[in-house]
Chain A
Amino acid sequence: MPDLLLELGLEELPASFVRSGLESLGTAAKELLAAHRLDCVSIETLGTPRRLTIVAHALPDAQPDREEVVAGPPWNVAFKDGAWTKAAEGFAKKNGVSMDALFERTNEDPKKPSTVAAKVFEQGRATAEVLAELLPELCRRASFPKSMRWGAGDFAFGRPVQWLVALLDDVVVPFEFAGIASGRTTRGHRFLAPASFEVPSAAAYEDALEGRHVIVRIERRRALMEQAISLAAGALGGTLVPDEFLLSECSMLVEKPFVVPGSFEPRFLELPEAVIVSVMRDHQRYFAVKGPDGKLLPRYLNVVGTANDPERIAKGNDRVLRARLADARFFVNEDRKQKLVDRRPKLDAVTFQHKLGSIGAKVERIERIARHLATVQQLDASLVGRAAQLAKCDLESLIVFEFPELQGQMGRFYAEKDGEDPAVCLAIEEHWRPAGASDAVPTQALGALLAVADRLDTLVGCFAIGQAPKGNADPFGLRRAALGVIRIALEGPIDVPIAEAVDTAIAALAHLDFDAAAVRREVLAFVSARLDAQFRGEYGADLVDAVLGAWNHGSLRDFRARLEALAGFRSAAEYEPLAVAFKRAFNIAAQATGDVDASLLEAGAEKDLADAFAKARADIDAHTAKGEYAAALARVATDLKAPIDRFFDDVFVMVDDERVRGNRLALLGQIAGTVSRIVHFHKLQPAEKS
């Protein structure tokens, strides 16, 4: 059971190329080996910036033999007038069988004619032989975010191919790819063990490389790196500022991780910490270190590929960082020559979207929408105007131009320096949140109001100018915007009455020419679709559907309250029978018109139901109106379940007497109406009893 080792030696690959290259090679190896009847126990991928490696464990020595029935031309073409035709002879020759091995085979599809066929035996070939043919195809199937050509320009790959190692245990699998012949010669670390050397066997590969300063197993390299930086952070008397991007990136930039600590002048600590961290991360890939007091230390950790002379390396890096920090400080000092609010007029000249106008115009709309939302929810609106006007001003600062990811944080910093109200300062930062699925929502109402207003303005504006997402294309991030509004309402400090909010956003765009009713409909449907996508996994599509129908685009928290009430109710014994009964009531009641005439009610099940409903109705409606959906559902279950079941058992609705029939329909219609204001029972799909 030999192992296959394939190593592609390359010029330095970017981290994302290593990942996508290995993923595609792993998938392709699995497919190709299976397609060639070479089943292996497992496939591993290993890699560094200079090599992509696939190991397939425990391959068979040869393909298994196989015999299969091969179908040829139609029988009436192969056999005519009691004799084989040329077509039959050709088929036999092609498959290497004698004429007397041919037989007629009926087609699986009875509409199609039978064919001539033959049992063809194929002897399994030696694995090494198959691999020699298969490996070039495997290499071709490596895919990268971008590919390039080099030299004569005949081949395209993620980076130029320098060498190829292909071993089946200890035997070279000979093939050629990108003008390079495979062999057993690989290379060690570019600087620490530059000589090429021969890999004795697939099993010896990993250790042989490790002896030459290459840690080829990605997880191991990353673990070693994390260990080294934690240790180094401890040695500096601090702890690492966690940064998943850097951990994953830096472990892919070196073949063996060494950590070199460096430092910068403490005077730069007067810069906001976020600026220092961004300068270090974005430009130089340095890790930041915090002291015991939680504050940034004037130190950093640098993951490097060679560290024979750490002091020299640190000195060089210190110099680069110093220049970068000096630049950042220059930007911050320049920015601070002007108050944040004084940048507001500049936003009028910055285009948000050419039909939707400037960022300044957007700010005005945000203020208007946020004010309205604050008013209808009886929130303090006194700071809304100031916060809205300042929210986007840092986009015009030098530092945010240089480090766009600091938007909001720098606005807050400058606002604090300008002596703005602390709530306003916080809102400037928080109104960008959530920036993505993993980002937190605003913690305070003011930032949440702006965040919701900003997103709704974008959402409604884009629908109004015909820029709704199509298929996978969502250039304005509208799905994320809608999801942001939902998350803010459900996880954050304020609720959002969604139809009301959309109407306000539409009103703020009154100067544009668009079909307001259609946009309202589309945006609300879009929000519903996001709610559905968000909750169907947890609650089931039919539950979400039942709630969406009754909810009618009220507040987002109301949506969730209904969903939770219904989900809680689902486990009650009455759930399924009630769902079935109300589904029936609802369907029948679709024909209902008019009021119930008590004099027409028949004693027994019909009268009992009408009485029970009359008694419970006001309470159920009151619970519903107050948003006490669990209580409303509980009343429905206790008061209406038994009567309605009896009604359906004992009473025939569709009697010939038109007045009696109409009256029964009207009764069911009223009950269905009351219950439908909680949830749409008729949309539920009670599980089949198994």
Chain B
Amino acid sequence: MHFQDLILTLERFWAEHGCVIGQPYNSEVGAGTFNPHTFLRAIGPEPWNVAYVEPSRRPTDGRYGENPNRLQQFHQYQVILKPSPLNIQELYLDSLRALGTDPTKHDVRFIEDDWESPTLGAWGLGWQVWLDGLEISQFTYFQQCGGIDCKPISGELTYGLERIAMYLQDVDDVYDLSYAEGIRYGDLFQRNEWEWSTYNFERADVELHKRLFDEYEAQVYRLLGLSTEKQKGNVLEWLEADPKKRLVLPAYDCVVKCSHYFNVLDARGAISVTERQRYIQRVRHIARGAAVAWYEQREALGFPLLKKVAEAAE
């Protein structure tokens, strides 16, 4: 199974199980969770089922294309089922079967692995899924997102596509994966890894990234109509009282950018331990602002997806 067939199979599988097939976010993210399809839609009462590929960047994991297992950019396949159905584990196992992996012929186990994103103010409980000792997926029941308690609860399935493909294709080096007929993963990404590793560790302009962080952070406050006075603690003070006038999506875009610039600065070794905490708090605060603004806006709009479900039921 080529790498791209793996994606196509999952797309088909989850589409047949009622998911909207979404698209990757067009800004740098560390994981599929940052995509508004997950981060924003997990908030509030509206039902939502979505599946998409997310190219995910982890600048500190870069190895200049020399390590057979580690990449600064890899691909997640992200599924959100909200509310999480009671048969979510069975659905997940069915998706493995669709990939040609018969769980009775392997050792498939759900091993405790709780998840937390300090920058997103999000956490959940769940597992990593082991396939013959290899962690192939993360499975999380979101409990909080942007500091807001989730209700209903989203079930998040995140497949590590490279790992699964290496397993299915029986290769030890990620760059040897067959991406498509006649095209290796290395043909597409090995140079990519070297360039971005060099950039993240050696060449990224520290002052530029610090400035960009500050500017985009300020932009979030402006777009949301959020006071900068009370950044400390958990207080959100709105200057713009009308939720419909707040530009939630552009503001969230800036939150994602701040998070990415922080990651680059971290990889670049430009942040001290104490500064690190402060940066995380700053991103967390604006992420929370965007989350609350999103909730209030959806509420002001009458939670449109909830209405659809009600209409369909009639």
A: which residues have CB within 8 A of B? 11-12, 14-15, 17, 49, 146, 148-153, 159-160, 162, 191-192, 253-254, 260, 284, 302, 304-309, 312-313, 315-317, 319-323, 327, 351
Cβ of B155 under 8 Å from chain A: yes
Residue from the list B85, B114, B124, B153 in contact with A153, Cβ < 8 A: B153
Residue on B nearest A304 in the bound complex, by CB: B107
Which secondary structure characterizes the binding site on chain B? mixed
Residues of chain B whose beta carbon lies under 8 Å from any beta carbon of chain A: 68-69, 83-86, 89, 103-112, 114, 124-125, 127, 131-134, 141, 143, 150-153, 155, 167, 172, 273
Bound-complex Cα distance A428 to B110 (A): 39
Closest to B272 in A: A349
- What are 16 A-B contacts with C-beta separation under 8 Å? A12-B111, A148-B141, A151-B153, A153-B83, A153-B151, A153-B152, A162-B86, A191-B104, A284-B133, A304-B109, A305-B107, A306-B108, A312-B105, A316-B131, A316-B167, A327-B69
Contact A160 B86 (CB under 8 A): yes
Query: If the complex has contacts A150-B155, A191-B103, A306-B108, are A316 and B132 also in contact, measured as CB distance less than 8 A?
Result: yes
Complex-state Cα separation, A160 to B126, whole angstroms: 10
Tell whether A305 pairs with B125 under 8 Å between CB atoms, given A160-B86, A191-B103: no
B107 touches which one: A11, A153, A306 (CB < 8 A)? A306
* Across-interface contacts of B150 in A (CB, < 8 A): 149, 153
Question: Is B104's CB under 8 angstroms from A305's CB?
Answer: no
Please judge, given known A-B contacts A306-B103, A307-B107, whether A151 and B134 are in contact too, CB under 8 Å: no
Complex: A321 Cα to B98 Cα, angstroms? 27
A670 to chain B, nearest CB (A): 62
Residue in A149, A192, A260 whose beta carbon sits within 8 Å of that of B104 in the complex:
A192
Contacts of A316 in B (CB 8 A): 106-107, 131-134, 167
Contacts of B106 in A (CB 8 A): 306, 309, 312-313, 316
| A253 adjacent to B111 (CB under 8 Å) | yes
Docked complex Cα distance between A160 and B155 (Å): 12
Contact partners of B133 in chain A: CB under 8 A: 284, 302, 313, 316-317, 320-321
Q: How far is the CB of A308 from chain B (nearest CB, A)?
A: 6
Question: Could you say which residues of chain A place their CB within 8 Å of the CB of B152?
Answer: 151-153
CB atoms of A14 and B112 under 8 A apart: yes
Report whether B69 and A323 are in contact in the complex, using a CB–CB cutoff of 8 Å.
yes
CA A321 to CA B84, docked complex, whole Å? 33
Chain B residues within 8 Å of A17, by CB: 112
* Minimum distance in angstroms from B129 CB to a CB of chain A: 10
Instruction: Point out the residues of chain B lying under 8 angstroms from A15, CB to CB.
Output: 112
Q: Give Cα distance in the complex from A152 to B150, angstroms.
A: 9
Specify which chain A residues have a CB less than 8 angstroms from the CB of B108 in the assembled complex: 191, 305-306
How distant is the Cα of A317 from the Cα of B108 in the complex, in angstroms? Answer: 12
Complex-state Cα separation, A322 to B83, whole angstroms:
39
A313 CA to B131 CA in the complex, in Å? 8
From A148, A162, A313, give the contact of B132 (CB < 8 A).
A313
Partner of B68, one of A148, A192, A323: A323
A306 to B151, CA, bound (A): 35
Contact present for A152 and B83 (CB under 8 Å): yes
* From B104, B134, B143, B273, contact of A306 by CB (8 A): B104
Chain A residues, CB < 8 A from B143:
148-149
The interface centre, meaning the residue of A151, A253, A302 with most chain B CB atoms within 10 A of its CB, is A151
- In angstroms, Cα B252 to Cα A666, docked, is 87
Which residues of the partner chain B approach A148 to less than 8 Å between Cβ atoms? 124-125, 141, 143
Chain B neighbourhood of A317, CB < 8 A? 132-134
CB <8 Å contact, A151 and B109: no
Closest chain-B Cβ to A515's Cβ sits at a distance in Å of: 29
A260 to B106 Cα, complex, angstroms: 11
Tell me the bound Cα distance from A436 to B152 in angstroms: 44
Q: Is the CB of B172 within 8 A of A322?
A: yes
CA distance A254 to B109 in the complex (A): 8
A503 to B124, CA, bound (A): 49
Query: What B residues does A150 contact at CB under 8 A?
Result: 83-84, 141, 153, 155
Q: Are the C-beta atoms of B89 and A146 separated by less than 8 Å? A: no
**How far apart sit A207 and B143, CA to CA, in the bound complex (Å)?**
38
Q: Verify B273–A351 contact, CB threshold 8 A.
A: yes
Contact A319 B172 (CB under 8 A): yes
Task: Write the chain A residue with the least CB distance to B81.
Answer: A151
Nearest residue, chain A, Cβ from B150: A153
Tell me, in angstroms, the Cα distance from A322 to B114 when the chains sit together: 26
Question: Roughly how many angstroms separate A147 CA and B240 CA in the complex, as a whole number?
Answer: 37
Is there an interface contact between A151 and B85, defined as CB atoms closer than 8 Å?
yes
User: How far apart are the CA atoms of A316 and B163 in the complex, in Å?
Assistant: 11
Besides A149-B141, A149-B150, A302-B133, 19 new A-B residue pairs in contact (Cβ under 8 A), listed by A number = A12-B112, A17-B112, A146-B114, A150-B84, A150-B141, A151-B85, A151-B152, A151-B153, A152-B151, A153-B151, A253-B111, A302-B107, A304-B109, A306-B104, A306-B108, A309-B106, A316-B133, A316-B167, A327-B69
Partner among B85, B109, B151 whose Cβ is within 8 Å of the Cβ of A149: B151
CA distance A540 to B18 in the complex (A): 71
For residue A191, which residues in chain B have a CB less than 8 angstroms away from its CB? Answer: 103-104, 108
Question: What is the CA–CA distance of A153 and B82 in the complex, to the nearest angstrom?
Answer: 10
Chain B residues within an 8 Å CB radius of A322:
172
Nearest 10 A-B pairs (CB), nearest first?
A316-B132, A14-B112, A317-B133, A12-B110, A153-B151, A304-B107, A148-B125, A320-B133, A309-B105, A153-B153
Cross-chain contact B107 with A319 (CB below 8 angstroms): no
B114 proximity list for chain A (CB < 8 A): 146
Distance, CA A17 to CA B131, complexed state (A): 22
What is the minimal beta-carbon distance from A681 to any residue of chain B, in angstroms?
A: 56
A304 to B133, CA, bound (A): 9
Residues A319 and B86 in contact in the complex (CB < 8 Å), given A260-B107, A308-B105: no
Residue in A closest to B87 when the chains form the complex, CB atoms: A162
In the complex, residue of chain B having the shortest beta-carbon distance to the beta carbon of A327: B69
Chain B residue at smallest Cβ distance from A321: B133
Query: Of all chain B residues, which has the CB nearest A330?
Result: B67
The answer on a CB contact under 8 Å between B134 and A320 is yes
Complex CA gap A317/B130 in Å reads 10
Nearest CB of A to B69, in Å: 5
